[in-house]
Structure formats: structure tokens, C-alpha cells
Structure 1
Amino acid sequence: MTEQYRLIIESVDYEGKGVARLDGKTVFIDGALAGEEVLAEITKRKPSFDKAKIVEIITPSKDRVTPECPNFGMCGGCSLQHISFDAQIQIKQQVLIDNLKHIGKVEAGEILPPVKGKPWEYRHRARLSARFVIKKGGALVGFREKASSYVADMLECKILPKYVSDLIPYLRELVASLSIRERIPQIEVAVGDNLVILVIRNMLELADSDETKLREFVDKHSKENNSLQIWLQPKGPDSCYPLYPQESPRLSYSLPEFNLEMPYYPTEFTQVNPYINQQMVSLAMELLKAEENETIADFFCGIGNFTLPIARTAKQVIGIEGADALVKRAKENANFNGLGNKVSYQVCNLFTVDEKWLQNLGKFDKWLIDPPRDGAVELIKAITPEIAPKRIVYVSCNPATLARDAGILVQVHGYKLQKAGIMNMFPHTSHVESIAVFELC
């Protein structure tokens, strides 16, 4: 017999699960919202918490909405679609505040207004899984199912640009028609300002007939405002190459406020949401307050997303990144935008740096840090009074590691956390992108 309980939801956690208490024990209820009363069924018991699913919503929240996507609940993405757009942002902002308080033991002097953009058709980078499944009648192309390795049986995706979403049924037909249909695990999508690239991961060599079908697919589905190009990836990311057409518009995104065009390869890291990225860069520059007599360091610089906007104002900028390929692209982008004389780059694994390395790098007026999810703890710990910058802008994709690093900056190095806020880079997901500015006291 299943165990069912009436529960009052107290809050929503960082994954979008409702949090309730049952006899003093925490219960996480998938899909439940703060303030709701639900009838829940316990699905898993742990020593310190339980997991449950909703049987019935007795009293719904005012923030509950009907999900727009027909794949909601089956697809593993967009887990917050049942929550209103504004409420999603409030939840993410509270996640940041709670992490700063409980992990970093710090509090921002000011919480910035959230950076938000369009809720749909925002995702310009995606890695779609592909699977040929006889029981499903052919090939599946899409994101994975919730808590599963299976590929969701989907015909559209609301967060992809409509042109790309509309391609999904045709991509399913294309994969099913190829001779190596069982050896194509994924199709990566990269949408630039004037070009859409599909990178097909082919684990076996294509037959001549397969290449003909890929070319025909491009010719049929390219549109005036959406040029299409297919690349192949037989091995790792470095093995990528364009199949058809050989000549096409440059894959790039723009930062019009800074008069910058940023070319990139389809497998290189760029932000998935170009609309939020433009606002994010603008906000970072506003918080950094770069001046024309200053030298500034950009750590985890990637292809120069922040480095080049900084260079528009600062005297000199150094960008540091761990991947040779990204540094090569960053140098090319600096020269492409006429900023090669104001920017220099270095390859360095920033997860292994120490005080000696940082002192040898030299003192800078200000820093910008944009690390991956693991944060920048070794870099932060390596700061000494001799080389401490007067201002640090920290862009983060993980509020927990931002909070940890903030604690070190404030409690060890004497910085003040002036401002912090979220940027809704991934609407309808639990992912929290945030930004903070620290000033040396």
C-alpha cells in the first residue's frame, strides 16, 4: 500500500522541487509550489529526507500556470514550466541570496534587479541526442527524458528558435534514412546571427549516398534569413569540419553596444542565450567601471566575450584561459575587431594557480572572473595584499561556488560584496546565472 500524506509546501528548492515537513523530516515533492496544499505519495525514503510525487493538488498556488510545451513532464529540460515566468525569477533570486547567506556567510549591500529576456525561442546552443528506435517507428532527435537516458519522443521544442524547432521532425526522418543511423548519437546546434550549423556526430564513415542526403537536406531547408550548414564530427571536437556548403556566412554573434562581432566555431563555448548575454556584458561593464588609464585582467576569458568590451575603454587587458583552442580564437577575435594592440592572452589552468604564479602575473587595477561551475577558488585563495585588485566583477553559473568564493573574498581578503543579482540565462530551468561586484575595503 502506498503512503500518501496531505502536506503544506513551505518553499521551493534550487531544482524547483517543493519542500515540506512530515513529522519533522524534510520531504521534496516534484512539481509542488510554495503555499500549496497537496496530497503526496512517498516514492523514496532516505535517512535525512524523503522524496514524493503529487497525487492531487488540493490548493494550487497563484504562481502555477499551464506549461506551454507539450513535452513538459516527459522531457528532462525546462523543469519549471509550471511556474509563472516572474515567479521563476523570484525563486532564482532567493536561491542566490540563500547561498550567499548560508554557504559564504555574506550578504550583498544591494540586490540588483534581475536581468531577464524572452521566455521562449532563446536557446541558440543545444546538444540534441539522436537514437534509432525500431519500437518508436524510426529515429528520435531531441533532449533526454526526465531522469532517464532515453531520448524524448518530441516533434518540437519551445526554447529553440522556431526555425530550428521546426527542423526536428525532418531531422528524425534524415537520421532514419542514413546507412549509419544507429551510430549517430547526437546533433549539436549552433545558431549565429546569420547562420545555423548542425554538427552531426558520425561514429562511422558516411556512405556517398548519406552525404548526398545531407546536402539535399541543406538545400531543402535553408531559408533566406536562416542559412543552414552541416558539419561532421567523426571523433572529438577538434575533428569537426564543414561538409556542406563549404562556403557559407561566418558563424558569429554580436555585441552591438560595443561594436563587436564575435566569430566562433560551432563546438566552441559561447553563451546559449544571446539576448541575455548582451545584457550581461553591458551590466558587467557597468559594474566594472573600466577607465582608460587602467589595466584589467579577465580570468576564464573564453573567446573574449568580456575581454573585448573591456578593451573598448581600458588601457590594456589580459585574458587568461585554460584551453589553447579558445585562446587562439580569442586572439583572432581581438584582431578581427581591431583590438589586437590593446589585448594580450595567456594559456593557464586557473584551477591549479598559486600565490607565486599570481604575483608573477602582476598587479591589475581590476579583475573580471567568469569561471565554469567549479568556481575560482584557487585563484581567489592566491590573492595577496600586494596584487589585490581594487574591484572584482564575478560572473557565475553556480551560486553555490560563487557564495563559497565570496566568503573567501570578504572574510579572508577584506573585500566588501557591494552588489549581486541574477541573470535569467536559462528560462524555465533551475539553472541560476548570477553576477557580483566586490570592492576592496
Structure 2
Amino acid sequence: MPQGARQARIEAFTHDGRGVARVDGKVVFIEGALPGEEVSFVYTAVHRDHGEGRVEAVLTAAPDRVTPRCPQYADCGGCSLQHLSAPAQIAMKQGLLVEQLRHIGKIAEVPLWPPLLGPVWGYRRKARLSVRYVARKGRALVGFRDRTGAWVADLAFCPTLHPVIGERLQALSELVGSLSIKTRVPQIEVAVGDRRAALVFRTLDDPSAEDRAQLAAFGERFGFDIYLQRHGPESILPVWPEAPEPLRYALPDQGLEFRFKATEFIQVNAAVNRALVDRVVEVLRPEPGERVLDLFCGLGNFTLALARHAGEVVGAEGVPELVQRARENAAANALTNAEFYLADLTQPLDGQAWAFQRYHKVLLDPARGGAQEVLAGVPHWGASRILYVSCNPATLARDAGLLVHRHGYRLVRAGVLDMFPHTAHVESMALFER
């Protein structure tokens, strides 16, 4: 055993993918450990009521342990579950969803859908890459933060990023290292569409004319749209080409194509998003005579698919740019039965007439904070079905408890979707019927 290391048997998993052990009567959360394993570990922090550590050696491996594909996995903070097989990751996330619905939502029976799966490598089409020029290495590091969060991991490539980006981290490193402002580039935002990809370089100083020329040459060489962002989002300007078209992604089964800007939110995993939209339409079953409400609608990812079948769809979103993009996407897809409203859905919706009308079906797709505030509209909607798409099982479980115990709905089915393989993010959906 390494000097200073302790030995432990791992009893369980935390929600963020760490092993749970009990050492000297105190709970310890151990990074890189799996349930059922015997490991040696070193402490990284000791608190009054618990400790934290990382694995130094696996003495008895769990059956589901696999060799991580990324050689920098031990250092990079972009993933936390590459040492666990993909099927076991899904089982772990499904177990967490069920546990949260039972424990927080007080829902005893949780019928499950089969998980929605997609590619587990090269899937990530949106990311914010950290950048840091390290003088002693004589080069820029481009990638995700390391596990401490203090530094940038030294990555040659990233197997979870879309290959058009993941296989070009070294080229990006060389590009940043060649700039006059190489120490003043903290971040590159990445967005990959079906046909092109875009890079937004955030800078703390204005680039020189030579810098701009190098950025443009890089974009032309690799087929990237290149943007600069000197201040806030309003300061984003194209470098190459001079007037780039919006990025695009399609939902072929729904006959839809969406346009989006590089900094706008889209679902990270294209294949899983297509499967998710198909399931939303299948489960809600909107009919030509029905009105459907889509809250937290973004640029219309679900709204337009529902509008293909429903009589009328109302979408609401809190980001003005996304509301505008949703309207543009509806027009581009020749859909005239979708209306979009700007609304802060984290606050009471007093004064918003659309929020207190009748709807046959409702879709909720909130951020991590959940949809608690908008659930005040449930009695007014009178919806026969409410479908909830979630990126946080804890707030889903809280809101599920409200729907079931306060508003008289029942949980029909729930399930996970593998939107973020090799990470502890749990994406899920749940259907409620009145």
C-alpha cells in the first residue's frame, strides 16, 4: 500500500459517482472507487462529519470496472465514470432516479421505461473549454478543468467530445500559443452542428490584426466558424467567415431542422436528443384538436415536434434570444400553430394570461432548479398528461411529489436517458396522468 494510504471496502455510490466507505467510524467519499471493491486510498480532505479521498490502488476490483479510454482520465475533471462500464453507469443512474423519487417524492411505485441510449464516445457537441498558457511548458493547455478545478487538464485529445473538436485539441493549443494575447484567452466555447462547427474565443484583451489573421486561417483550414467575444454576449463578432450562417441540426423523424447560434443552448448529445424528442411525441400523443403547453421551451426543440401533431402549442422561455430563435425556427419549418412567450419561469406567473389557460397536455423541461414555481398553474391547465424532462433527479422528485400528493396526478412511468455518458449527470423523464 502507498505510504499514508488507508484501506477500505466500498459499500455504496454517491450521486456524483464516488464510492462510500466507513473508516474509523466516519463516512468517507472516495473518488474512483466502485461498490463492492477493496481499495487503498489517500485522504484529500477531512471534515467534522465525513472525509474525502481518492483511490491509490484497487485491491479487489468490481466486475463492472473497466479501463478508462482517456489517458488523462485520472487528472481531467470532464468525466467521473470512465472506470465504470457503460451499462453499469446506466443502472447506477436509474437506481438513483428511483431512490430519489421514493425518498424525496414519497412515491412508492416507480414503473420504468427502458433507458434511451446513444453513442458513449464522441457524443458531446457543446462544451466550454478552459484555456491556460503555461510558460514553463511553453504552450497553451486547452481542455476541461482538472479534478481540483484549479488548473486546466493537459489533454492531447478528448474521446467524449465530437471528433471534429476532440481530435484537434493539440491544434487549438498551437493556435492559442501563436497569438500575441496567448495569456489572455481563458475560454473557447464549442458548438457542433450537423454540417459545421463553431468556436467562440473569449479574450481579455483585443487581438492584433495578425491574431485575427491566424484565427481566420485556422477556421478556413479546419472548416470552423470562428468568433471573438471580448465582453458580454452582445460583443460576439465573426472572424471567419465574415458572415457565417447559423449552425443547424435536424430531427429527421419529425421532419424538422433547427438553426442556432454557437452560444445558445441545445441538447449536448444529438442521437439521444433525437430519441428523446421521438419519445416525447409518442408519450404525449398530441391530437389535432388539442392545445399543448411547453414550458422552458428553449429554441423550440420539443415545441415544434409537438406542433406537427397538435392543434396549437404554446411555448414559454426565460431567455429572450431563445424565444426569438424559437419563433424563427417555427417560421423556417412552416409551422403557424406555435406561439412563444418570454417569461421568467422561476417566478410566479401572475399577469401572464397564457399561463392560466386550459391545456390538454403539458411538457416541462426545466434547468437544475426544477419547475416548482410554475406548478401553481397545474389547477388552471387541467391537463390529462404532464411530461417532465429533467437534468436533476432531486428536483424532479420534489416536483413529482407535488404533482402526486398536492395536485392529484399519478406517476405512470419514469426513465433515464444517456445524455452525458461517463459523467455523473442524470438526465431523466417522468410521465404523470391526472
TM-score range, shorter chain: over 0.9
Query: Deviation digits for residues 274-295 of structure 1, max 9, x if unmatched?
Result: 1110011111111111111100
Specify the code of the residue in structure 2 equivalent to 1:262.
F
Is the CA contact (8 Å cut-off) linking 2:238 and 2:244 kept in structure 1? no
Is the CA contact (8 Å cut-off) linking 1:132 and 1:139 kept in structure 2? yes
Distance 2:63 2:130 in 1: 35
Equivalent residue number for residue 353 of structure 1? 348
Closer, same or farther in 2 for the Cα pair 1:136/1:274, shift >3 Å? same
Map 1:190-339 to 2 at 5 A.
190-222=191-223, 228-248=224-244, 250-339=246-335
Equivalent residue number for residue 74 of structure 1? 75
Equivalent residue number for residue 225 of structure 1? none
Residue 388 in 1 paired to residue 389 in 2? no
Q: Report SS of the residue matched to 1:136.
A: coil
**Deviation, structure 1 residue 48:** 2.7
Equivalent residue number for residue 99 of structure 1? 100
Distance 2:46 2:216 in 1: 53
Unmatched segments (≥5 aa) in structure 1: 223-227
Unmatched segments (≥5 aa) in structure 2: none
Equivalent residue number for residue 399 of structure 2? 405
Query: Deviation digits for residues 49-75 of structure 1, max 9, x if unmatched?
Result: 222332432211010111010110111
Equivalent residue number for residue 420 of structure 2? 426
Distance 1:112 1:234 in 2: 46
Is the CA contact (8 Å cut-off) linking 2:98 and 2:110 kept in structure 1? no
Closer, same or farther in 2 for the Cα pair 1:322/1:198, shift >3 Å? same
The count of corresponding residues between Structure 1 and Structure 2 is 433
Query: Deviation digits for residues 288-345 of structure 1, max 9, x if unmatched?
Result: 1111110000000000000000000000000000111110110000000000x20101
Distance 2:395 2:326 in 1: 26
Residue 379 in 1 paired to residue 374 in 2? yes
**Deviation, structure 1 residue 17:** 0.6
Distance 2:75 2:56 in 1: 17
Residue 18 in 1 paired to residue 13 in 2? no
Q: Report SS of the residue matched to 1:302.
A: coil
Specify the code of the residue in structure 2 equivalent to 1:332.
E
Distance 2:56 2:156 in 1: 28
**Deviation, structure 1 residue 163:** 2.2
Equivalent residue number for residue 437 of structure 1? 431
Residue 416 in 1 paired to residue 417 in 2? no
Equivalent residue number for residue 47 of structure 1? 48
Equivalent residue number for residue 128 of structure 2? 127
Q: Identity of aligned pairs, percent? A: 45
Distance 2:270 2:108 in 1: 30
Distance 1:27 1:190 in 2: 38
**Deviation, structure 1 residue 392:** 0.3
**Deviation, structure 1 residue 10:** 1.6
**Deviation, structure 1 residue 364:** 0.6
Deviates more, 1:129-138 or 1:271-280: 129-138
Closer, same or farther in 2 for the Cα pair 1:184/1:364, shift >3 Å? same
Is the CA contact (8 Å cut-off) linking 2:356 and 2:377 kept in structure 1? no
Distance 1:425 1:396 in 2: 11
Residue 175 in 1 paired to residue 176 in 2? yes
Is the CA contact (8 Å cut-off) linking 1:194 and 1:249 kept in structure 2? no
Distance 1:134 1:381 in 2: 55
Specify the code of the residue in structure 2 equivalent to 1:374.
G
Q: Report SS of the residue matched to 2:204.
A: coil
Closer, same or farther in 2 for the Cα pair 1:234/1:43, shift >3 Å? closer
Is the CA contact (8 Å cut-off) linking 2:101 and 2:110 kept in structure 1? no
Specify the code of the residue in structure 1 equivalent to 2:416.
I
Closer, same or farther in 2 for the Cα pair 1:51/1:315, shift >3 Å? same
Deviates more, 1:281-290 or 1:324-333: 281-290
Distance 1:213 1:421 in 2: 47
**Deviation, structure 1 residue 422:** 0.4
Closer, same or farther in 2 for the Cα pair 1:56/1:178, shift >3 Å? closer
Closer, same or farther in 2 for the Cα pair 1:210/1:10, shift >3 Å? same
Distance 2:247 2:46 in 1: 49
**Deviation, structure 1 residue 232:** 1.2
Q: Report SS of the residue matched to 2:167.
A: helix
Closer, same or farther in 2 for the Cα pair 1:432/1:5, shift >3 Å? same
Is the CA contact (8 Å cut-off) linking 1:296 and 1:316 kept in structure 2? yes
Distance 2:378 2:150 in 1: 43
Is the CA contact (8 Å cut-off) linking 2:361 and 2:384 kept in structure 1? yes
Distance 1:372 1:389 in 2: 22
Distance 1:43 1:3 in 2: 11
Specify the code of the residue in structure 2 equivalent to 1:230.
I
Is the CA contact (8 Å cut-off) linking 1:281 and 1:306 kept in structure 2? yes
Distance 1:53 1:238 in 2: 42
Residue 370 in 1 paired to residue 370 in 2? no
Specify the code of the residue in structure 2 equivalent to 1:380.
L
Closer, same or farther in 2 for the Cα pair 1:360/1:39, shift >3 Å? closer
Distance 1:76 1:214 in 2: 27
Q: TM-score, normalised by structure 1?
A: 0.94
Distance 1:41 1:187 in 2: 34
